[in-house]
Amino acid sequence: MATEPFDVIIVGSGAAGGTAAYVLTSLGARVCLLEAGRYYEPGRETPMFQRHGAAPLADAGTPDKPFGFYDATVDGGWVLPEEPYTTAPGTEFRWFRARMLGGRTNHWGRVALRYANHDFKAYSLDGLGADWPFTYEEFAPWYDRAERMVGVFGTNEHLPDIPDSPPGCLQPPPVPRSYERLVIAGGRRLGRPVVASHEAVITQPLNGRLACFYASPCLRGCAIRANFQSPTVMLAPASASGRLTTITHAQVYEVDLAPDGLVRGVHYVDRLTREHHYLAGRAVMLGASAMESVRILFNSRSARFPDGIGSASGLLGRGVLSTPGSNVWGRFPQMEGLPPFNDDGVVSLPHIFIPWWLLPEQRAGRLPFARGYHIELYGGRTEPSAYTFDQFNVVSPLTYGKRLKEEARRYYGSFVRFSQRGEMVMRDSNRVVIDPQMKDAWGIPGLCFDVRWSGQELRQTAHAQRSMVEFIEAAGGQVVSPPPSDPRQAITAPGRMIHEVGGARAGADPRKSVTDSYGRVWGVPNLYVIDGAVFPSSANKNPTLTIIAFAWRASEHLRKYLRKELPHA
Amino acid sequence: MPDRRETLTWLLRALALGAAPAAHIDSASARQACGGAPAQPDRLGAAWRGDRGYGRDPDLLHPQVTWALTLTAQQKTAIARLADVFLPEDGSSPAASAVGVPDFIDEWVSAPYPQQQQDRVVILEGLNALGCAAKEPLHTLDAVQAQNLVAGLHARAAEGKQPEARFFDRFRHICLIGYYTTPVGVAELGYVGYQPSPRFAGPPPEVLTRLGV
């Protein structure tokens, strides 16, 4: 365990902070990791074989545990009484938090897709949003490192929207489930790709971790470490290095800027004792989650940065991004009344997905929206739960008695949810600010969100709804409820997909961004933002793998910086 | 929607004292037919309002229901009679009451969460209406009487009459969840997962043939 003064203070222990802790300790730095939530140990705490029926309310979601009793979220949820936030009039934003070691990596859906070069350079291609300050080729080595450490299954399909990985990065995917085979056949009929998903679950042993044994839902966490969670994959080796100190219940609220222009520590409040503490370090990395990192920057005011560190360009808090999402349910008569068989696979994660297939048409200007989406699939013969009968009520609303039991047997496992995951176009008008009135339970000023979908996201969603209907019908299914004519009724609220990023974007020009390409806040060379806050755009690909790769790259950069420019470190 | 406490009071009264027969079972006339007892503190209302949920960091390895169960023995008996009509013994699997569905419904409608509180009103309001429609107190109904009562309920629900339609929908839904998440119900649906295995074999050939893939 390292002691003060630390080389690096890392705020947050999720995808970004966990990766930085691992990389920096492995490179010899002495690190202090601050986590707002409690210590959490998946090996000891994961309810691997508890059945839905053994949980209160059969594991149905509640305000205490929105994704069910067993979900790997501690002291989190959509609404945290101690940590309120506000939204601008007429807007909605759903902000999911987890207060635990590893943050939201514990609950994560684990879709792990690489951004392609057109994702990093989308502004150059269509003039919307902003470019990333590097190309795919420049960034790809860190995707390689991330995939090798995280453990990702998937295949190289040579598709325009999904870059191939070098040999040795991806593990073999599991074979498709029954309903997934119907969708693959449907895709073939439509001439559209349906390929193996990329998921952060290992199907072969990796770095001492056991391979998946295809039982127990991943969203509860994994006691055998077959899926990626920051505590088991990143923090365990960081801790074993002897160079990591972890402080839990530490809510960081301010970065301390010294007169020489460098940061020298952070202020935090112990959430249990309410005592305030100061911790000194030679460099600080913020990985508190995109919106929390932006909030810390805003709340770090000084003569030099009266509106918060990083506010010089006026862009701090601007360009908040979410993922447009919508669903269409299909029912598949071929799946009705099948004999019992085990179709669990990697429980609760899709084995396949539908990548964005219209990139050439979009680039040629033949679509009424600028950015793409992919489609994920959930359903089939999962363990009967509080949600098994949600669609059943639509197809068999008034049955009872023996007929009800017959229909329960018949329809069980025959429903599949098709789910759009799209790219939102970045706009500066979508932003967070510090709410002038509202403070959290520890007296720290909180955030106000002003995030709205534009016609871009609505037209994309209308297209996705139609596409999902086409896929359902091509796969031999029927749509359970037809899509609404107004996509506003189909699209989920901003934030609901739990992919919120942006607000402190990285860029090549200090006037047009908050950090440089390594996440270093412009003008403050030892303060890094390493989480989703740095995203100038958010592709249709779930952000976690890119957060991990970015944090890895930033950590290597910081290690070099500490050696060169702070030789005493 | 009637005040929760009022509903509970009617229900208690209906179940405890035996409800008068009524020609109509819609909510307003039920209120009249049952006499519209004055709202007063009752132990059901007091019990659930003061309760809290299991919190945001429960012990996941030792699941516990942290709220007080609030249904009376007579209410649970009445629920068992009705649940057994919705999910009867059918030669393949037992009736709802044999696998603990009434206990599950008690757990559900006693929970302090918004969905469950909303369901509580629907369930108790519906029971009240049914109690008013029945010639006997619900907990004393025999199987045939219960069957007839649900047939009437179904007819009203099919016409979209309230509160019967929403009671039919929610009562049935909670029964289905409670029934098919028990070991018996899980087996009945043919779920055979949760088998740790070094590889995932995928669907068997006969299934692939059925699917045509």
Residue span of the structural domain in which B81 resides: 4-53+63-211
Q: Which two tokens stand for residue A110?
A: 């684990």
> Mean pLDDT, to the nearest integer, of A333-348?
96
Minimal C-alpha gap between A53 and chain B (Å):
5
CB A371 within 8 A of CB A456: yes
Interchain proximity B107–A56, CB inside 8 Å = yes
Give the residue-averaged pLDDT of A542-553. Answer: 98
Instruction: Judge contact between A512 and A314, C-beta under 8 A.
Output: no
Burial (CB < 10 A; 0-12, 13-18, 19+), residue A180, is: buried
Query: Which two tokens mark A129?
Result: 């949003």
- Number of domains comprising chain B: 1
Q: Would you say residue A387 has pLDDT above 50?
A: yes
Rounded to the nearest 10 degrees, the angle between the axes of helix B43-50 and helix B4-17 is 140
What average pLDDT does range A534-544 have in this prediction? Answer: 98
pLDDT in tens, B198-212: 999 999 999 999 999
- Alpha helices for A82-135 (secondary structure H): 117-120, 122-126
What pLDDT is recorded for position B136?
Answer: 86
- Which residue in this structure is represented by tokens 């990192």? A293
Q: Taking residues A447-452, what's their average pLDDT? A: 98
Contacts of B114 in chain A (CB under 8 A): 63
pLDDT of residue A5: 80
Q: How far apart are CA A500 and CA A563, in angstroms?
A: 34
Query: Which sign, positive or negative, has the C-alpha torsion A352, A354, A357, A362?
Result: negative
* Interface subset of B 120-149, CB within 8 angstroms of A: none
> For the residues A66-88, what does the mean pLDDT come to?
95
Contact B202 A176 (CB under 8 A): yes
pLDDT attached to residue A563: 86
Percent of chain B with pLDDT over 90: 72
Q: Which of residues 159-178 of B touch A (CB under 8 A)?
A: 168-169, 172-173, 176-178
| HSE-CB for B110 with a 13 A CA cutoff | 23
Comparing C-alpha atoms, which of A501, A537, A531, A502 is closest to residue A519? A531
Query: Which pLDDT band holds residue B43 (cuts at 50, 70, 90)?
Result: very low
Segments making up each domain of chain A, as ranges: 1-45+62-151+228-322+426-451+498-569, 152-218+325-422+454-490
Give percent of chain A above pLDDT 90.
Answer: 97
Give the SS3 label for residue A90.
Answer: coil
Residue B34 belongs to a domain: yes
* Rounded mean pLDDT, B84-104: 97
Contact with chain A for residue B205, Cβ under 8 A: no
Instruction: Please check whether residue B29 lies inside any domain of the structure.
Output: yes
Mean pLDDT, chain B, as a whole number? Answer: 81
Q: How far is A452 from chain B (nearest CA, A)?
A: 27
Count CB-CB contacts under 10 A for residue A158.
8
Q: Mean pLDDT across the stretch A486-492?
A: 98
Q: Residue B11: its pLDDT value, please? A: 40
Residue of A nearest to B90 (CA): A402
Q: What would the pLDDT profile of B22-32 be if each residue is shown by its tens digit?
A: 323 333 333 34
According to DSSP, residue B98 is labeled G
CA distance A168 to chain B (A): 20
> Quick check: is B58 in a domain?
no
Q: pLDDT at residue B46 above 70?
A: no
Contact A435, A445 (CB under 8 A): yes
Across the interface, do A409 and B183 touch by the CB < 8 Å criterion? no
The predicted pLDDT at position B39 comes to: 31
Check if the beta carbon of residue A173 is closer than 8 Å to that of residue B202: no
CA distance A560 to chain B (A): 40
Question: What is the tens place of the pLDDT at every residue in A388-424?
Answer: 999 988 899 999 999 999 999 999 999 999 999 999 9
Angle at A158 between CA A157 and CA A163, to 5 degrees: 95
Give me the mean pLDDT over the B78-104 stretch: 97
> B52 at the A interface (CB within 8 A)?
no
**Distance (Å, rounded) from C-alpha B50 to C-alpha B56?**
18
Question: What is chain B's Cα-based Rg?
Answer: 20
Provide the β-strand partners of residue A506: A515
Calculate the alpha carbon distances from A134 to A20, A534, A549, B64 in Å: 20, 13, 13, 51
Closest residue, chain B, to A400 (C-alpha) = B86
Contact between chains at B181 and A58 (C-beta distance less than 8 A): yes
Burial of A494 (0-12, 13-18, 19+ CB in 10 A): buried
Q: What is the mean pLDDT of residues A489-499?
A: 97
- pLDDT confidence of residue A1: 63
Strand partners, B117: none
Q: What is the mean pLDDT of chain A?
A: 96
Integer angstrom CA distances of residue A534 from A109, A116, A146, A310, A453: 21, 17, 18, 12, 20
- For residue A342, the chain B residues in CB contact (below 8 A) are 192-193, 195, 201
pLDDT number for residue A569: 40
Q: Is the pLDDT of residue B6 over 60?
A: no
Average pLDDT over residues A355-369: 97
User: What mean pLDDT do residues A164-180 have?
Assistant: 98
Cα dist from A306 to A298, A312, A314, whole Å: 9, 9, 12
Query: Nearest C-alpha of chain A: how many angstroms from B194?
Result: 5
A172: tokens are: 């073999």
Q: How confident is the model at residue B12 (pLDDT cuts 50, 70, 90)?
A: very low
| Helical ranges in chain B per DSSP H | 4-17, 27-33, 43-50, 73-86, 101-110, 114-133, 143-158, 164-180, 183-189, 205-211
How would residue B19 be classed by pLDDT, with cut points 50, 70 and 90?
very low
Q: Residue A307 has what pLDDT? A: 97
Tens digit of each residue's pLDDT (9 = 90 or more) over A273-321:
999 999 999 999 999 999 999 999 999 999 999 999 999 999 999 999 9
Confidence band, pLDDT 50/70/90 cuts, at residue A566? low
**Residue pairs between chains A and B whose CB atoms are closer than 8 Å:** 212
User: Is position B180 within any domain?
Assistant: yes
Interface of B with A in 4-23 (CB under 8 A): none
Q: What is the per-residue pLDDT across A119-166, written as a single tens digit (0 to 9) for each?
A: 999 999 999 999 999 999 999 999 999 999 999 999 999 999 999 999
Write out chain A residues lying below 8 Å of B63, CB-based. Answer: 50, 54-56, 69
Cβ-based contacts of A58 with chain B (< 8 Å): 104, 177-178, 181
- Determine which helix (DSSP H) or strand (DSSP E) holds A561, and give its type and residue range: helix A544-564
* pLDDT for the residue B45: 35
The pLDDT of residue B36 is above 70: no
**B150 vs A181, A335, A400: nearest CB:** A400
The stretch B51-80 carries a mean pLDDT of 94
pLDDT of residue B15: 38
Rounded mean pLDDT of A347-357? 97
CATH tag, A1-45+62-151+228-322+426-451+498-569: 3.50.50.60
Nearest by CB to A47, which of B60, B87, B176?
B60
Q: What does DSSP say about strands A276-286 and A527-529: parallel, antiparallel, or unpaired?
A: parallel
pLDDT of B17 above 50 = no
pLDDT in tens, B150-164: 999 999 999 999 999
Distance CA A401, CA B95 (A): 10
Given a cut of 50, is residue A565 above it in pLDDT?
yes
* Residues in contact with A27: Cβ distance below 8 Å, sequence separation at least 6, in sequence order: A555, A556, A559
- Has residue B13 got a pLDDT over 90? no
Q: What is the pLDDT of residue A81?
A: 87
Is pLDDT of A69 > 50?
yes
Residue B135, pLDDT score: 82
In this predicted complex, what is the ipTM? 0.95
Give the minimum alpha-carbon distance from B168 to chain A in angstroms, rounded to a whole number: 8
